[in-house]
Amino acid sequence: MTRATYGVDETIRAYLLANLPPEHPLLAELREVTATMTRSRMQISPEQGHFLAFLVRLIGARRVLEVGTYTGYSSLCMALAMPSDGRIVACDMSAEWTDVAKQFWKKAGLADRIELRLGSAVDTMEALIKERQEFDFVFIDANKEDYDAYYESALRLVRPNGLIAIDNMLREGRVADPSMTQLSISAVRDLNAKIAKDERGDRVLITVGDGMMLVRLR
């Protein structure tokens, strides 16, 4: 089951979905396929997909870095929103899950625009920094324990005025419960607090999906 926007009840969510632009048929098919797989709740929701596509168009992104690809829904949303010379570098460590992503990128005719890098995303981002790669937009949606490292690397990889979006920053409300001390929650709580004070970027935490932090590099 796809994860819905946290804190929004079923009636409002149905209204929200009914008033979004139509979902691309391949995105709908990918959600159906993913729903039969393990960990399907990791996939971003359709409203988040629309939001990512909107951001990519808004800033005219041509170079996108995705950290956490899974079966490819978010990367496909962004690739469909980019111009024909747009390129995505997609990072993940699962060949099994990203094989599904590859199938759908191919079906959409976008496979040549998306470069998959398999392995630890911390290492991949380090390699991209060494290669002096630069991105207009970085979307972070992998394991939460490494979120701070992803954020710091993203700040080095995004161009000035470029955008970083970080998913799951509410952890379904658990960040607001101090009794939740496991690293996958505390790492996100600490990063929210750090970014709130971080003058390197303009930033806003919004409630779409499971909470998304947006940082625009100054």
- All residues at 6 or more sequence positions from 114 whose CB lies less than 8 Å from its CB, including other chains: 75, 79, 87, 88, 89, 90, 105
Tell me the CA distances in angstroms from 154 to 26, 99, 206, one per residue in order: 29, 25, 19
How far apart are the C-alpha atoms of 218 and 59, rounded to whole Å? 14
Length, in residues, of the chain: 218
CB of 49 to ligand SAM, least distance (A): 7
Q: Of 2, 5, 74, 153, which lies in the binding site for ligand SAM, with binding defined by CB under 6 A?
A: 74
Q: Does 120 bind ligand SAM (CB under 6 A)?
A: yes
How far apart are the C-alpha atoms of 64 and 165, rounded to whole Å? 11
Q: Of 51, 70, 104, 105, which lies in the binding site for ligand SAM, with binding defined by CB under 6 A?
A: 70
Q: Does 37 bind ligand SAM (CB under 6 A)?
A: no
Q: Of 4, 56, 61, 73, which lies in the binding site for ligand SAM, with binding defined by CB under 6 A?
A: 73
Q: Does 142 bind ligand SAM (CB under 6 A)?
A: yes
Crossing angle of helices 95-107 and 73-81, rounded to 10°: 30
Helical ranges in the chain per DSSP H: 10-18, 25-35, 46-58, 73-81, 95-107, 121-130, 147-157, 183-196
Per-residue interface string for the shown chain with ligand SAM, residues 79-98, x marking contact by CB under 6 A: ------------xxxx--x-
Q: In 3D, which of 93, 98, 38 has the Cα closest to residue 73?
A: 98
CB of 30 to ligand SAM, least distance (A): 8
Candidate ranges 10-18, 65-73, 79-87, 158-166; the one touching ligand SAM (CB under 6 A): 65-73
Q: Does 56 bind ligand SAM (CB under 6 A)?
A: no
Q: Of 4, 27, 44, 100, which lies in the binding site for ligand SAM, with binding defined by CB under 6 A?
A: 44
Residues of this chain that interact with ligand SAM (CB under 6 A) are: 42-44, 68-71, 73-74, 91-94, 97, 120-121, 141-143, 146
